Amino acid sequence: MDQKAARAAATKAFKAGGMPLRKGHHRLGDPKKDEIVWYVDLRAQSAGPSSPLRFEVGCWVAALDHPEPEGGPVDCPLLLDRSVSATTPAEMGAEVGALVARVTEIDSVAALRAALSAGDLGRPLVDQSLRTLLGE
């Protein structure tokens, strides 16, 4: 599947999952009322139309009192990458759906702490302010 088709399928699946685009990034949650807000971008791993894709996922935490990330996931205190394995639009929809379902479950600092402790998020980059908040 080419990048254009992959991006179209991903955007459709993100919208269906309640994660529409906001300032060019898919966002789940509202920084004005939610404890945790997730941002996701679909990125190419290198230049070229056949380059593999990955999800860049960021978690913004209201308790840190950081401004809402204008740059999307990369400006969040927690950042992780997930490789995309989908080869068809249907597979992309399923992969996005699974990602949205997973981050939807992590809707509080306590849930984030538990997911990180269990290794459910792999090995994300976590900045010092979030480590301090989580008691690491």
CB atoms within 10 A of CB 27: 23
> What is the DSSP code string of 2-13?
-HHHHHHHHHHH
| Residue 35 burial (C-beta neighbours within 10 Å; 0-12, 13-18, 19+) | middle
The residue to which tokens 């399923």 are assigned: 94
**pLDDT by 10s per residue, the chain, length 136:** 888 889 999 999 999 999 988 888 999 999 999 999 999 999 988 887 778 899 999 999 999 988 888 899 999 999 999 999 999 999 999 999 999 999 999 999 999 999 999 999 999 999 999 999 999 7
Rounded to two decimals, the pTM is 0.93
